């Protein structure tokens, strides 16, 4: 296992530390742990680009990102630092994407998802929302609504974009099947 994968594992291990610090009302320390987790994300991406990505890293890295962001949104919503609806939007999109990926996989497709510009902006604004939620918690201020709304807008837009990509992929896989195999599948 290479350095990039170790950094990703470290990010996964930082998630319960981050959540614990938030729940036990240590927002300053939680902010530092979140920053450390974000730094491991940047470093593992840099190392992976230099040395080449691994199959394990291609699986673990997005999982670590989703785990950190989901835990952040759930915990900050529980602590009333962020509104419930933004956590629902972020988590719903991710659940829909996972279900879509499983469906494609069950139908025999192989996924090689690439982030879109909207997906990257959604992640950026989600991270910014978490950071503002942490800062709001630390300074006892309300989180800026404009950042939360931008995160929601790009999350919804990127989710729709990924759904359209998935539908195109499924249509392409279906179009490549020979007519006889589709009839055989129907008769089974």
Q: What is the mean pLDDT of residues 21-37?
A: 92
Domain formed by 3-187, architecture:
Up-down Bundle (1.20)
- Greater confidence (74 vs 41) lies with 74
Within the chain, residue ranges assigned H as helices are: 3-23, 27-51, 55-78, 84-106, 117-139, 145-176, 179-187
Examine the pLDDT at 188 and tell me if it is beyond 50.
no
**Residue among 39, 33, 28, 38 nearest 16 (CA):** 33
Most confident region among 42-51, 59-68, 105-114, 123-132 by mean pLDDT = 123-132
Q: Which of 12, 3, 20, 58 is nearest to 36 (CA)?
A: 12
Mean per-residue pLDDT over the chain, rounded: 84
Tokens representing residue 100 in the block: 């879509």
Q: How far is CA 42 from CA 45, 65, 96, 148, in A?
A: 5, 11, 26, 23
This model's pTM is above 0.75: yes
Closest CA to 97 of 155, 45, 15: 155
What percent of the chain is predicted at pLDDT more than 90? 41
Query: Looking at residue 144, what DSSP letter applies?
Result: P
């Amino acid at each position: 296992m290479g350095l990039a994968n170790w950094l990703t594992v470290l990010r996964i291990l930082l998630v319960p530390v981050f959540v614990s610090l938030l729940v036990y009302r240590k927002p300053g320390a939680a902010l530092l742990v979140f920053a450390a987790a974000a730094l491991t994300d940047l470093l593992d991406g840099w190392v992976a680009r230099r040395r080449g990505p691994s199959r394990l890293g291609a699986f673990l890295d997005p999982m670590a990102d989703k785990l950190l962001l989901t835990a952040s949104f759930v915990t900050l919503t529980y602590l009333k630092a962020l509104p419930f609806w933004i956590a629902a939007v972020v988590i719903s999109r991710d659940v829909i994407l996972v279900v879509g990926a499983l469906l494609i996989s069950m139908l025999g497709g192989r996924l090689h998802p690439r982030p879109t510009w909207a997906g990257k902006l959604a992640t950026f604004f989600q991270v910014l929302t978490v950071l503002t939620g942490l800062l709001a918690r630390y300074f006892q201020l309300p989180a800026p609504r404009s950042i939360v709304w931008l995160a929601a807008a790009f999350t919804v837009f990127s989710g729709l974009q990924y759904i359209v990509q998935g539908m195109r992929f499924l249509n392409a896989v279906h179009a490549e099947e020979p007519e006889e195999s589709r009839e055989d599948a129907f008769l089974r």
